[in-house]
Chain A
Amino acid sequence: MRSWKIVVAGEGGQGVQALAQTLALAAYHGGLESLYIPNFGIEQRGGVSLAMVQLSAAPIGAPKFQIADLIVALSPRSYRRCFQHLGPETMVLYDSSLMEPPRVEDQVVGLQAYDTIAPEAFAERVGRHPRREESPPPGRRLIAIPASDLARKHLHPRVFNMIVLGAIGAITGMVELELIKEALAKKLDRRFAKDPDLKENNFKALELGWEKGTQAAKEAAVGAEV
C-alpha cells in the first residue's frame, strides 16, 4: 500500500467537489487516513474548481501539497491551474472527450504559481508557458478516458463525474468499489430514496469507470485511449 496525493481539476458545476469528497469518505470507511479540501473561488458556477484528496495508511500532515501523484483533469483551463502540482512522476488522468491530451513536458513540471492569481497568466509572464505537444512524451503516465462521451452515450450526462471517480478508484487501488458505492449512497441517501433510477445510473457509472480504470492501469501503453 502506498499513499496518494490527488488533485481533481474541473469547472464549477462538473461535480469535482462531490467526486473528491466521496472518494475521501470511501477511503475513511475503508479504514484509511483521508483528507479532502476544496479549492475554489467565490463563483457558484463557471469558475475553475479544484479539490485535493490525500489517502494514506499513515496520519496526514498539511491539507495542501505541492507535487501530486495523480492529477485528474476535466477541462483545459483547470488543468493549467495544476502545473504547480506536476512532478516527473505525476500521473495524469484526463477526460479525452472534453480536452486534448494534457501537456506534461519538463518546462511545465514543478512550475510555481499561485492558484489565486490566475497562474497561467503568471506562467506566461515569466516566459515558461508550455509548448503544445502532439503526442505525450515517453515515460509520462497519461491516461485518457472519454468519461463525458461514455456518460452521454450509455447513461446520463450528469453522471460523468462518477465514471471519473470509478476510474480513480481502480487506478489508485486504495478503495474498494463497494466502499465508493456505499459512500455515495450515504451522501445522497435522501435523493436515492426518492429516485431509484438516479441510484442505478450513478452505480452503473461507477462500475463503468472502474472497468475503464482497471483496463488503463493494466495497459502499460501510455496515452492510449481506453
Chain B
Amino acid sequence: MKEAVEGEKRAFMSGNEVVAWAALAAGADFMYGYPITPQNEIMHYWRRLAPEYGRGFLQTEDELSAGFATIGGILSGKVAFSATAGPGTVLFQEPLSMAEMMRIPLVVVIQQRGGPSTATVIYSQQEVTLACFGGNGEGLRLVYSTSSHQELYDYTIKAFHRAWRYRFPTLVLGDGYQAKMHEALTLYNPQERGWGKVPAEPILGLDRKGSVRHLRNTFSVEEELAETLRRSLADYRKAAEELVEYEFLGEWGGELLVVAHGIVGRAARAAVRGLRAEGRRVNFFRPITLRPFPGQAFQEALRASGGALLVVESAQGQLGRIIKEALAEEESGSFQTLYRPGVGITAEEIMEAVPL
C-alpha cells in the first residue's frame, strides 16, 4: 500500500478533506458511503484520492447499507470506515448497534447538521445523544468530539487504532462548520509519530489454530445476553480509564467552570481567556471523549471551580444530560442504582438493593 503522507507538511484545507487525508494516512483500505450534506466531500475526496493509493470506495443505496457494508469489509479484515450526518446518523444506529453487540471496530465520521429530521444542512451539535447512546443498547461506543482541523486529523487516525484495539465502534463527531471551514493543520505520517499499523485481522473465518470463529448478536435466553453484556460492560469500564481525554484550562479557587465540546469549545476557550484577562477566575473544561465521559476529571475541575457550572452547546441540553449524569455520580451517596440490562428484576432483588 502506497503511503499517503510522507514526513510532515502544513496544509490549508476543508475539514472534510482533512478526514479523507487522515483515513488515507491511517492506512484505511476502504470507504463505504451514501451522500448527505455536510459530509459529502469526505466521500468525494476519498473517491478521488483512493485509486492513487490502492484503496477502494463503494457508494451503497442508503446509510443502512453503507453501515452494514462497512461491517462486512471489517469482518474480512479490512480497515473500513464510513461517514454520515443528520438523518443518516439515525439510520446508522442499526449497524452501530450490531457493532456494539458483536464488538466490531466500525469507524464512522459524523458531521452534525441541524435537526430533527431534514432540518438544515449547515450545523448543530444535536447528534451527541445519537452518537453516544443511539442504539438499542448501552452505548458501548467511543466518541471523539473534535474542535479544530488538527484534532480532526489526529482523532480520525486515532479512531482506527482505538476501534481495532478495544473492539468498540468508534465515532469521530465533527459538525458542518468543521466540515466546510478551511484552516491550517499539519499532516503527518502516523507511523513516524509512533503509531504502528492499525491492528486489523479477519474477524470471521478461521482463527490462528484453525477453528471457526463465531460472532453472535442473537441469544436464546435472557441470561446468555446478560452474561455477554456483563463482559462487554466490564471491558468498556476498564477501557474507559485508558480512553478518556479532555482539555482543562484554569486552577483551584475558580468561581465558575465553563463546559463545552467540539467547535463550541473554541468560542468557550476564547471567552474564558477574555474573562481571565479581566481578572475573573473562570475555568474551562472540554471533554474530548464524550463517551466514555471523563467524569473524574470533570468532577475535579468542578471542585476547583467552586461547584458553579455553565454548560454551553449548540443543542438543547444533550451535553447537559451527560454532565448531569456525571454530577449524579458525584452525589452518589443519595443516588443509588440497580441496573440489570436485558433481564427481569424481582421484588427480592430490589429489597436487597435498598440500603440498610
Contacts and interface: CB of A to CB of B under 8 A. Distances in A.
Interface of A: 21, 24-25, 28-29, 33-39, 41-42, 60-64, 116
Given A28-B12, A62-B267, A42 B177 contact: no
B334 to A, nearest CB: 38
Most chain A C-beta atoms within 10 Å of own C-beta, residue among B12, B180, B264, B269: B12
B12 A24 contact: yes
B180 A37 contact: yes
Interface stretch (B50-58, B151-159, B181-189): B181-189
Contact of B12 (A25, A38, A62): A25
B184 A34 contact: yes
Contact of A116 (B37, B122, B182, B269): B122
B263 A36 contact: no
Contacts of A61: 266-267, 269-270
Contacts of A116: 120, 122
A34 B184 CA distance: 7
B183 A62 contact: no
Contacts of A28: 12, 184
A64 B266 CA distance: 10
A37 B12 contact: no
Contact of A38 (B120, B180, B267, B269): B180
B270 A62 contact: yes
B121 interface: yes
A39 B182 CA distance: 12
29 contacts: A25-B182, A28-B12, A28-B184, A34-B12, A34-B182, A34-B184, A35-B181, A35-B182, A35-B183, A36-B183, A37-B177, A37-B180, A37-B182, A38-B180, A38-B181, A41-B121, A42-B37, A42-B121, A60-B183, A61-B266, A61-B267, A61-B269, A61-B270, A62-B263, A62-B266, A62-B270, A63-B177, A63-B263, A116-B122
A60 B149 CA distance: 12
Contacts of B37: 42
Nearest to B119: A116
Nearest to A186: B12
A41 B180 CA distance: 13
A61 to B, nearest CB: 3
Nearest to A116: B120
Contacts of B263: 62-63
Given A28-B12, A62-B263, A63-B263, A37 B270 contact: no
Contacts of A38: 180-181
B177 A34 contact: no
B15 to A, nearest CB: 10
A3 B177 CA distance: 21
Contacts of B181: 35-38, 63
A42 B184 CA distance: 26
Interface in B23-71: 37
A62 B148 CA distance: 10
Given A24-B182, A25-B12, A33-B184, 7 more contacts: A28-B184, A29-B12, A35-B183, A36-B183, A61-B269, A62-B264, A63-B177
A63 B184 CA distance: 13
Most chain A C-beta atoms within 10 Å of own C-beta, residue among B121, B180, B269: B180
A110 B233 CA distance: 51
Interface in B196-240: none
Contacts of B269: 61
